[in-house]
Amino acid sequence: MKRMRRFLVCAGLAVTLTGCGAATVKPNYTTTNPDLMRIGGEAPGNKEPEIIDMGSYCLKVTDKWKADGKTPDGQSIWVKDSYRNVVPCH
């Protein structure tokens, strides 16, 4: 019984040391579309609202950038919010 307990303690210790010694995965903050997310620097400029003719109605599209946290090395994460409103066509 003592041998079994000693074996389990040693096995648990070995598993714990192996897990803690493994390299951590480095986060990858990239995107294939930089129009949606950017890392670091100053806030990207906001465009003027755009009106898109959809045929029987028009959409007013407004894009706004906001800071949405920081990377582990302290860089700002900028994400874009898009707001859409139905407006009369001119």
Q: For all residues of the chain together, what is the average pLDDT? A: 82
Percent of the chain with pLDDT over 90: 26
| Cα gap 59→55, rounded to integer Å | 10
Neighbours of 89 (CB within 10 A): 12
Q: What are phi and psi of 30, to 5 degrees?
A: -130, 165
User: Any bridge partners for residue 43, and if so which?
Assistant: none
For position 71, what pLDDT does the model report? 84
Task: Dump pLDDT digits (tens) for 8-35.
Answer: 888 777 777 676 666 666 666 666 777 7
What is the pLDDT confidence band of residue 61, given thresholds at 50, 70 and 90?
very high
